[in-house]
Amino acid sequence: MLLPPGSYGYISITEPDKPTVERDAYLCCHCQDLCIVVPGSGKTRGYCYLCYAPTCGQKRCSERCVPFEAKLEAMEGRRRFYKQLELDRQGEPLG
């Protein structure tokens, strides 16, 4: 799987008396799950051709494209709406 240069994050696991394990990692563009790249693992990941970025491979992220930024805006929009109606996060009247 190819990503544009600089798109990978990085993880390292250091342990006494063992070599340091270093791996590339990226966040799913739909859910922001941390995906660690392990060459030869056989782990199936996905790719969104609308976001032009890899996904975690889970069904909920593969079957439709909802960029994570859109999800954040929806969460914030719900909160603003409830606030305007003077409701708490569960939709119950404040106070």
Asked if 67 and 29 touch (Cβ cutoff 8 Å), the reply is yes
Q: Smallest distance, Å, CB 49 to another protein?
A: 19
Using CA atoms, how far apart are residues 18 and 38, in angstroms rounded to an integer? 18
Which residue in 26, 28, 32 sits closest to 9, CA to CA?
26
Q: Smallest distance, Å, CB 89 to another protein?
A: 7
Q: Which residues bind another protein (CB under 8 A)?
A: 6-16, 25-27, 31-34, 60, 68, 72, 75-76, 79, 89
Q: 22 — phi, psi (to 5°)? A: -125, 135
Q: Which is nearer to another protein, 31 or 65 (CB)?
A: 31
Q: Smallest distance, Å, CB 81 to another protein?
A: 11
